[in-house]
Amino acid sequence: MNEVCPKCGLNSQLCVCEAIAKESQRVKVRLEKRRFGKMITVVEGIDTKSVNIKEVAKELKSKFACGGTIKHQMIELQGDHRNKVKDVLVNLGFSQDSIDVI
């Protein structure tokens, strides 16, 4: 039996709520220096209500072969990956114009 999306009312297989949510978000990618000179890449601004942030973090960690975590609705990746994060996020469905690399 087919389920119906509570947000848009479409069949769950035809639902585009997550794709629309990805295009309308303002994502910021920045670099932070932590203790002992360690660098981390922080991806923030992803709305956790409409996008599965765990899947995005898993994909980023897999692509860059690095460790990472989710803290306070932000994805933290070990190392400097600012230049590559934007390309991966665009492949995941985020709008290229809505991603700011600082």
pLDDT for 78-87, tens place per residue?
999 999 999 9
Residue range 22-101, CATH number: 3.30.780.10
To 10 degrees, what angle do helices 82-91 and 53-64 make?
130
* Closest alpha carbon to 41 in 57, 54, 55, 52: 57
Sheet holding 74-78, edge to edge: 68-71, 74-78, 39-44, 27-33, 99-101
Residue 2 pLDDT exceeds 70? no
Residue 52 pLDDT exceeds 90? no
Residue 20 pLDDT exceeds 60? yes
> Would the pTM of this model clear 0.85, i.e. be above it?
no
Hey, where are the domains in the chain? 22-101
